[in-house]
Structure 1
Amino acid sequence: MSRTTHLLYLHGFRSSPQSVKARKMALWMAREFPHVHWWCPQLPASPRQAMADLLAGVAHWPADRMAVVGSSLGGFYASCLAQHLGCPAVLINPAVHPSRDLAQYIGEQAAWHDPSQSIFFDAAYIQELQALESPTPSAAPQTLALIAKGDEVLDWREMLARHQAGRVHLIEGSDHALSDFDHYKAEILEFLGLA
């Protein structure tokens, strides 16, 4: 894999570029890899719009030197982008069946990092997610999946079954947010060709 010069970070459902992991990665890039083009957008609630915005945003990036990192729903989007663009992706507790899991969140939802803000998750977004859910990833995906057995939101067995064709780090314990994210810094940077 080529060294990454363009890196995209995708946050999870109801999250934002202010998430702990997004801010930590932004800091790592600014301090240690200032030459890397960093983009961590606020994703719209509509999955179709999110994917359209992301594809437009990376349209002029060098395909052989870009990578994507995503957490939870952002991990699902990262997996979709990696398949579509053929780029490497780091997937942190990635959603596998978001159309099923997010069906209970239709309506107004408070944002995690600022409860005064909210998003509206429309029923139509479930169909948009279904359209993005492919049966299986490519035979040899360039992915590193960090999967925590202690994830309290998503089933680690589903994540493992979905992403086992790529590289997997199955983590004993931890949680959905991967609160011990710093422990995996070296592995993430090495996978991205930055270490």
Structure 2
Amino acid sequence: MILYLHGFRSSPKSMKGRVISERMAELGLSDQLVCPQLPASPKLAMELALSLIEGVPAEELSIIGSSLGGYYATWLAERIGCRAVLLNPAIVPLQDLDKHVGVTTQFHSDEPFEFKREYIDELRALAVDPITRPARYFLIAATGDEVLDYRDMVKHYAGARQHVIDGSDHGISEFPEYVDAVLAFCGIEAGR
């Protein structure tokens, strides 16, 4: 089973969410992918994620997280002991998200999105430093990420499998080129 966690103000309709969903459908494995809309509250987002994977053995679970979803995926992987793929993950979102307190909209819809100041404390409670068992992680980081510094990612996931893209952007525009490698790390071979 794969749990995909989108980034801040994003949704399962993000490009990476759609690419993963479409590839899993092509492989006849749509039933093995869970891609929820996460609430703005980190605490509620993790409660939702835990409820969706309840009863799934760690060795049968992989989490793919993008940006803030990567921060969440790291906390979950440490808690559960499963594999995690991190796509330009947030490392210390507390410092970056303070400026986003307030009401705005989601990126892929006109749905309101409210980020409350207390959510920063909820994020603090999910911090993982350092990671344990780096072999269970696969980092894909872009040097051209305009939101987060890839060097922080590389340092935080030292010892993990890493692929650093020279250039690109925060959204990893060429993600379709990497989806099969991501799924392979999750135990799903594209040639099935």
| TM-score w.r.t. length of structure 1 | 0.93
The counterpart of 1:77, out of the listed 59, 72, 81, is 72
User: 1:60 Cα shift?
Assistant: 1.4
Percent of aligned pairs with the same amino acid: 42
SS in 2 for 1:187: helix
For 1:9 and 1:97, locate their aligned partners in 2 and report how far apart those are by CA, in whole Å: 20
The counterpart of 2:84, out of the listed 59, 83, 89, is 89
Moved over 3 A (4+): none
User: 1:140 Cα shift?
Assistant: 3.0
Q: Which amino acid aligns with 1:29?
A: M
Matched, 1:131 2:125: yes
For 1:110 and 1:35, locate their aligned partners in 2 and report how far apart those are by CA, in whole Å: 28
Matched, 1:14 2:14: no
For 1:111 and 1:24, locate their aligned partners in 2 and report how far apart those are by CA, in whole Å: 19
SS in 2 for 1:194: coil
SS in 1 for 2:125: helix
User: 1:189 Cα shift?
Assistant: 2.2
Q: Which amino acid aligns with 1:34?
A: L
Matched, 1:191 2:177: no
Q: Which amino acid aligns with 1:89?
A: A
Contact in 2 for aligned 1:83/1:141 (Cα 8 Å): no
For 2:84 and 2:59, locate their aligned partners in 1 and report how far apart those are by CA, in whole Å: 12
Matched, 1:40 2:35: yes
Q: Which residue of 2 aligns with 1:143?
A: 137
For 1:130 and 1:85, locate their aligned partners in 2 and report how far apart those are by CA, in whole Å: 19
Matched, 1:170 2:164: yes
Cα gap change, 1:108 to 1:142, in 2 (>3 Å): same
| TM-score w.r.t. length of structure 2 | 0.94
SS in 2 for 1:54: helix
User: 1:8 Cα shift?
Assistant: 0.5
Q: Which amino acid aligns with 2:163?
A: H
Unaligned runs of 5+ in 1: 1-5
User: 1:185 Cα shift?
Assistant: 2.1
For 1:146 and 1:36, locate their aligned partners in 2 and report how far apart those are by CA, in whole Å: 25
* Aligned residue pairs, count: 189
Q: Which amino acid aligns with 1:143?
A: Y
Unaligned runs of 5+ in 2: none
User: 1:164 Cα shift?
Assistant: 1.7
Q: Which residue of 2 aligns with 1:28?
A: 23
SS in 2 for 1:151: coil
Contact in 2 for aligned 1:91/1:143 (Cα 8 Å): yes
User: 1:141 Cα shift?
Assistant: 4.3
